[in-house]
Amino acid sequence: MGDKRRILIVDDEVQIRRFLRPALAMHDFDVIEAASGAEALELLGKNEIHLVVLDMQLGDQDGLDVLKRLREWSWVPVIVLTVRSREADKIRAFERGADDYLTKPFSIAEFLARVNAVMRRAPPAADEPVFEVGGLAVDLARRRVLVDGAEVKLTPKQYGLLQHLARHAGKVVTHEQLLRGVWGDEHAEDVHYLRIFMRKLRQRIERDPARPTYVVTELGVGYRLLAADQLEAIAS
């Protein structure tokens, strides 16, 4: 395969797989296919996959259940394909760990644009430091979060928010910057998503989520993850 990026298409409709495969191949992706959730999980366990394109409605199980199981051990990017267009369905997909959400029917041009956008979001480099403030530690290389020495499990989107804030610690990160950095350009105005996930992130890392110590709100602008000196100044 060389340096080709490998994409797994998970859809029980053979027409969809035939629609996507040649377009991806023309853009130098290596494509493998799964017609069921069980087959997808088996392939993911045996192959190095760089992106998963996952239908929400599979013949053997709900695609979101597949996503939930995948997120127990893998951070591989996932684009959800679905005929469901309700906001509640999109939020459920993002909560389970989807990186993007595309509603059927869609054009190949839009699909490829989203694939490329997700693939550009590279994982953290192996030499990134551990960010620490108070009792919070974020190991950016190993994607681990500890609060008062105990590891805290975050969903991919919760971690993505914290990671983005940690890389800009001490500075205000705007709503738009967070949305573009974690969800992509097409969600730059979906501030309600951000508020939902920020509330859930605070419930995981803050001692008192109603009075956050680490991630503070800059009203009407965005959020700031306090640096150590800023936290000390507030405490003194």
pLDDT in tens, 73-112: 677 889 999 888 888 888 888 888 888 899 988 999 999 9
Average pLDDT of the segment spanning 147-160: 90
Which neighbouring-strand residues pair with 30? 6
Report which of 177, 172, 178 is spatially closest to residue 224, judged by C-alpha positions: 172
What is the share, in percent, of the chain residues with pLDDT greater than 90?
47
Domains and their CATH numbers in the chain? 5-120 (3.40.50.2300), 130-235 (1.10.10.10)
Question: Are the beta carbons of 191 and 219 closer than 8 angstroms?
Answer: no
Question: Are the beta carbons of 25 and 1 closer than 8 angstroms?
Answer: no
Mean pLDDT of the chain: 87
What is the share, in percent, of the chain residues with pLDDT greater than 70?
94
pLDDT in tens, 194-231: 999 999 999 999 999 999 999 999 998 999 999 888 88
Average pLDDT of the segment spanning 175-183: 85
pLDDT in tens, 112-138: 999 988 887 645 444 557 899 999 999
Model pTM greater than 0.75? no
- Which strands form 172-174's sheet, in the order they lie side by side? 172-174, 222-225, 215-218
